[in-house]
Amino acid sequence: MASPASSVAGAGETALTVVLVGNPNVGKSSLFTALAGVPTRVGNYPGVTVERKVGRFTHGGRAIDLVDLPGVYGLVPRSPDEQAAVDALAGRVPGMAPPDCAVVVADATNLERNLYLASQVLGLGVPVVVALTQSDVATAEGITIDHALLAARLGCPVVPVVAPTRHGIPALASAIVAAAAGPAPSPPGGLEALASTAGPEHSPAAREAIARYAWIERQLVGVVTRRPPAGAAATRRIDELLTHPLSGTLAFVLAMLAMFSSIYWLAAPLMDGIEAGVAALGGAVRGLLPEGPIASLLVDGILAGAGSVVVFVPQIALLFAFVALLESSGYLARAAFLMDRLLAGVGLSGRSFIPLLSSFACAIPGIMATRSIENRRDRLLTIMLAPLMSCSARLPVYLLFCGAFVPDRAVGLPFIRLPALVLLGLYALGVVVAAAVAWLLTQTVLGRSRQPFVMELPRWRWPLPGVVLRRVAEAAGSFLHNAGTLIMAVSVVIWALTTYPRDEAAIDAEVAARRGALERRIAAGGEPAAPAAELARLDTPAGLAAARRGAAQRQSFLGRAGRLVEPLVRPLGWDWRIGCAVLASFPAREVVLGTLGVLYDLGDGDDAEGGLAARLHAATWDDTGRPVFTLPVALSIMVFFALCAQCASTLVVIGRETGSAVWPVVSFLSMTLLAWVAAWLTFTVASGLVGG
């Protein structure tokens, strides 16, 4: 019985090194999990960002190191994936022993094409075992495979497996141990003779492929028999319905709508629940501890940080449930097929559609969903574009500023309102800029995709609930485990920067100075109503508490940083407080509203949304007393938020998913620059038009 274990290993004999090699999407990962459990090590092959997954298990007292090779269609090294697979099979990877056995993972429902890779592995001089995945599906589809005959033809063991139910897994483990002790199979015979039958008009590559497929066809004579499966007619009807130009497109729109609304709206109550729970927990902790730095660290730093991590889990779980459903039913590839043309124009493929669409809800699950993009370049480009889609965290910012500063005027028709048009424009801005960035990167750094967009369209299948649940658990777990700690650390650091240094005397002095300034303005005459209202606010306990809280934050490291960056944000029409709020929103965009509230002395008693809008309307420049927030300033803030990278969680996930610290930095710098330039243009043009 194969069992995941680590402590038993290495008693006397050294561990066997076994590699899993197979075409993409044949169930290699599921087989890896079934054999070795959770990988003990996940790293990269030296020099390239090709994931190397290693796990250890024991079988019959023998320790086995299982290495998952990248999914490839052949062993001609043209891509980093293929190079890594070839190097690992040849024992040329530093720090990895040459394989004692290669397990070729082949899809039983698509044996002919899967054996192409097997024919190449058989010629390497390494013991081989063929694992036939999807054997249950093959049976259900009326495909019968004579395993013994196939094993005799190939000269190596052939083991049918069903990874989710562990059927055939012990037999596979036994076959691996036995094969590793024996000789390597002889290479496919007669390939040269077969190649020579192909005419001279074909390229050497074509002649090799002709020869190998001719060899495969010969091996499969009498091995595979097909009879029409029981549900063939039903499958064909489903296929016709789901791929018909009209009903298929309708089904696609409905499926995408269901997916998008579930991550956008269905996740919202769950996220609200998490936030409420974290707030309640924070209140309880505050009740237990005396007011002071420890309580603040625990509640505002650590608990809030943990909350900001956990709050992403509903969206990630829902999106991955959808992706897993679509993938295991065979629809994911169909969706890519439908949308390919749309994305080909900007140098991407249909595979990028779902990750980019999801990014309108949140870039984090969107970026994680790029795992289903096989092409490395396309995946990287999609990751870089995902944060430009306007996510749900931007919406509160848009809604506040559109509602408070964009005049509610009809444009053309009475029901087309200006604020709604501005909102639409902000969403469009992200898409247009993403398309421009994709085009630019394709023309320069990344180049056109060197690999053609070819994609297997799998058969329709009923998704297995177990598989879907495992995918959801894996995605949520890997996010909490890999990204969670770092996101929490960022939150705690930002908390410290907004809390310290704290000098009560200086806070008193600032409030007193403010009172003095207001009194002088009233004494000077002019329009005394606004200063008088402000002064009256300062005399209420809530107004005073708000003023003190604002003063503390203005004097913190963050406040000082805000003053430091003021020359940078002045061209955007912002005062240093807006600069502060933008800096403080680095952990998450929506934080900007809370910070603006504190900085503009929003009190606990004030109505959260209307109150903030009123405080912003009342805000004046320190020197001139003119209002800070005008239409051009509001537009410039919104445009900045549409394009900026103020989301530490996204940057952390970009780092994790690309396996490199370079891409988050590139992403942050380029998006910030883009956001600044666009906000400056917006402010300049809008000021010119409306006179700001």
What character string, x for contact with another protein (CB under 8 A) and - otherwise, covers 559-598? ----------------------------------------
Query: Helix or strand or coil: residue 376?
Result: helix
Residue pair 162/131 in contact (Cβ under 8 Å)? The answer is: no
Q: Give long-range contacts, CB 8 A cutoff, 24+ apart: 401-406.
A: 401/634, 401/635, 401/637, 401/638, 402/634, 402/638, 403/613, 404/613, 404/616, 404/617, 404/629, 404/634, 405/629, 405/630, 405/631, 405/633, 405/634, 405/635, 406/631, 406/634, 406/635
What DSSP character marks residue 190? T
Binding region for another protein (CB under 8 A) out of 36-44, 241-249, 286-294, 666-674: 241-249
Please identify which residue in 42, 149, 210, 270 interacts with another protein, judged by CB under 8 A.
Answer: 210
What DSSP character marks residue 109? G
The CB-of-657 to another protein minimum distance in angstroms stands at 25
Q: Does 338 bind another protein (CB under 8 A)?
A: yes
Please identify which residue in 243, 262, 442, 687 interacts with another protein, judged by CB under 8 A.
Answer: 243
Sign of CA dihedral 576, 540, 625, 628: positive
Binding region for another protein (CB under 8 A) out of 62-70, 71-79, 381-389, 588-596: 71-79
Structure tokens at 267: 């996740």
The CB-of-225 to another protein minimum distance in angstroms stands at 12
The CB-of-121 to another protein minimum distance in angstroms stands at 13
Task: Please identify, using beta-carbon distances, which residue of 142 and 155 lies nearer to another protein.
Answer: 142
Task: Please identify, using beta-carbon distances, which residue of 4 and 142 lies nearer to another protein.
Answer: 142
Structure tokens at 237: 């009807």
Task: Please identify, using beta-carbon distances, which residue of 318 and 381 lies nearer to another protein.
Answer: 381
Please identify which residue in 54, 140, 184, 198 interacts with another protein, judged by CB under 8 A.
Answer: 198
Sign of CA dihedral 527, 533, 536, 538: negative
Task: Please identify, using beta-carbon distances, which residue of 77 and 91 lies nearer to another protein.
Answer: 77
Q: Judging by beta carbons within 10 Å of its beta carbon (0-12, 13-18, 19+), is residue 487 exposed, middle or buried?
A: buried
The CB-of-448 to another protein minimum distance in angstroms stands at 11
Structure tokens at 461: 């299948």
Alpha-carbon distances, residue 297 vs 282, 450, 558 (angstroms): 11, 51, 16
For residue 622, give every residue at least 6 positions away whose Cβ sits within 8 Å of its Cβ, in sequence order, or none: 575
The strand pairing partners of 131, in sequence order, are: 105, 159
Task: Please identify, using beta-carbon distances, which residue of 79 and 390 lies nearer to another protein.
Answer: 79
Helices 267-288 & 313-329 angle (0-180, nearest 10): 150
**C-alpha closest to that of 334 among 320, 354, 317:** 354
Please identify which residue in 340, 503, 566, 609 interacts with another protein, judged by CB under 8 A.
Answer: 340
Task: Please identify, using beta-carbon distances, which residue of 134 and 392 lies nearer to another protein.
Answer: 134
The CB-of-568 to another protein minimum distance in angstroms stands at 44
Q: CA 385, CA 666: separation in Å to the nearest integer?
A: 12
Q: Does 624 bind another protein (CB under 8 A)?
A: no
Please identify which residue in 206, 254, 257, 608 interacts with another protein, judged by CB under 8 A.
Answer: 206
Q: Does 22 bind another protein (CB under 8 A)?
A: no
**C-alpha closest to that of 603 among 536, 519, 532, 529:** 536
Task: Please identify, using beta-carbon distances, which residue of 58 and 372 lies nearer to another protein.
Answer: 372
Q: CA 534, CA 610: separation in Å to the nearest integer?
A: 17
Residue pair 217/306 in contact (Cβ under 8 Å)? The answer is: no
Please identify which residue in 32, 57, 320, 337 interacts with another protein, judged by CB under 8 A.
Answer: 337
Rule CB under 8 A: which of 473-502 touch another protein? none
What character string, x for contact with another protein (CB under 8 A) and - otherwise, covers 388-417? ------------------------------
Looking only at Cα atoms, what is the longest distance across the chain?
105
What character string, x for contact with another protein (CB under 8 A) and - otherwise, covers 349-368? -x------------------
Binding region for another protein (CB under 8 A) out of 196-204, 483-491, 532-540, 629-637: 196-204
Q: Judging by beta carbons within 10 Å of its beta carbon (0-12, 13-18, 19+), is residue 527 exposed, middle or buried?
A: exposed
Please identify which residue in 266, 276, 289, 342 interacts with another protein, judged by CB under 8 A.
Answer: 342
Task: Please identify, using beta-carbon distances, which residue of 459 and 548 lies nearer to another protein.
Answer: 459
Q: Does 347 bind another protein (CB under 8 A)?
A: no
What character string, x for contact with another protein (CB under 8 A) and - otherwise, covers 439-478? -----------xxxxxxxxxx-------------------
Backbone angles phi, psi at 57, to 5 degrees: -145, 165
The CB-of-219 to another protein minimum distance in angstroms stands at 14
Q: How many CB atoms lie within 10 A of CB 356?
A: 22
Query: β-strand 158-160 against 128-133: which pairing, if any?
Result: parallel
Q: Does 632 bind another protein (CB under 8 A)?
A: no
**C-alpha closest to that of 150 among 163, 159, 142, 141:** 159
Q: Does 301 bind another protein (CB under 8 A)?
A: no
Amino acid, single-letter form, for residue 135: S
Please identify which residue in 32, 45, 57, 116 interacts with another protein, judged by CB under 8 A.
Answer: 116
Task: Please identify, using beta-carbon distances, which residue of 459 and 470 lies nearer to another protein.
Answer: 459
Calculated CA dihedral for residues 610, 616, 617, 619, nearest 10 degrees: 150
Task: Please identify, using beta-carbon distances, which residue of 58 and 135 lies nearer to another protein.
Answer: 135
Task: Please identify, using beta-carbon distances, which residue of 456 and 503 lies nearer to another protein.
Answer: 456
Task: Please identify, using beta-carbon distances, which residue of 375 and 491 lies nearer to another protein.
Answer: 375
Binding region for another protein (CB under 8 A) out of 88-96, 242-250, 532-540, 569-577: 242-250
Q: How far apart are the first and last CA of the chain?
A: 76
Q: Does 146 bind another protein (CB under 8 A)?
A: no
Please identify which residue in 41, 92, 202, 520 interacts with another protein, judged by CB under 8 A.
Answer: 202
The CB-of-363 to another protein minimum distance in angstroms stands at 26
What DSSP character marks residue 483? I
Please identify which residue in 94, 201, 290, 624 interacts with another protein, judged by CB under 8 A.
Answer: 201
Please identify which residue in 7, 203, 444, 624 interacts with another protein, judged by CB under 8 A.
Answer: 203
Alpha-carbon distances, residue 137 vs 142, 239, 458, 461, 479 (angstroms): 9, 17, 12, 8, 32
The CB-of-460 to another protein minimum distance in angstroms stands at 11
Task: Please identify, using beta-carbon distances, which residue of 72 and 674 lies nearer to another protein.
Answer: 72
Backbone angles phi, psi at 433, to 5 degrees: -65, -40
Task: Please identify, using beta-carbon distances, which residue of 344 and 662 lies nearer to another protein.
Answer: 344
Backbone angles phi, psi at 356, to 5 degrees: -75, -40
Structure tokens at 649: 């969680």
What character string, x for contact with another protein (CB under 8 A) and - otherwise, covers 73-112? xx-x-xx-----------------------------xxxx
Residue pair 102/89 in contact (Cβ under 8 Å)? The answer is: yes
Tell me, by CB under 8 A, how many residues bind another protein.
46
Q: Does 314 bind another protein (CB under 8 A)?
A: no
The length of the chain, given as a count of residues: 692
User: By the criterion CB under 8 A, which residues form the site for another protein?
Assistant: 73-74, 76, 78-79, 109-113, 116, 198, 201-206, 208-210, 213, 226, 243, 245, 248-249, 333, 336-338, 340-342, 344, 350, 450-459
